[in-house]
Amino acid sequence: MNELELIKIAKLAAENAYIPYSGFTVGAALLTKDGKIYSGCNIENASYSPTNCAERTAFFKAVSEGERDFTAIAIVGGKDRNFTDYCSPCGVCRQVMAEFCNKDFKIILGRNDDYKTFTLGELLPENFSLKE
Ligand code: THU
């Protein structure tokens, strides 16, 4: 599974985004260590705060199926299902990633024509953790 394949799955997942309030579509594709993929989209709510980001949808689907080991996540996002810019994960999603992934977990930000990659250590240095 390479970066472009994972981005393609994130774009497919974005098609299911439930976005009546922001019109901002996000899709994510989370790769487990044994090669399985869990996708997710953002799901908004009239009360706003229950809104779930695409990244957390993917993580919660995977974790609730018993997955604990992750290698990478691809993320795409944009207005009107147009991925002209990179969509970087919000702080809450970074903290959820830090609960289950180590510093070398790969975060792939895709857009229409290209992508760039970061590690979780780069995007959330010195994260809060209660793990030994
Ligand atoms: N959103 C995500 O799905 N992931 C992020 O990392 C940032 C924001 C969603 C939440 C909301 O539905 C929309 O983008 C606009 O904030």
Which of 18, 30, 41, 51, when mutated, tests ligand 1's pocket best, judged by the most ligand atoms within 8 Å of its CB?
A: 51
pLDDT score, position 84: 97
Q: What is the mean pLDDT of the chain?
A: 97
pLDDT score, position 5: 97
Residue nearest to atom 6 of ligand 1 (CA): 89
**In the structure encoding, which two tokens stand for residue 132, read together?**
């030994």
55: closest CA among 122, 85, 103, 100?
Answer: 100
Quickly tell me which residue has 């774009």 as its tokens: 11
44: closest CA among 74, 14, 23?
Answer: 23
Selected residue with higher pLDDT from 29 and 113: 29
pLDDT score, position 80: 84
Q: What confidence category does residue 64 fall into, taking pLDDT thresholds of 50, 70 and 90?
A: very high
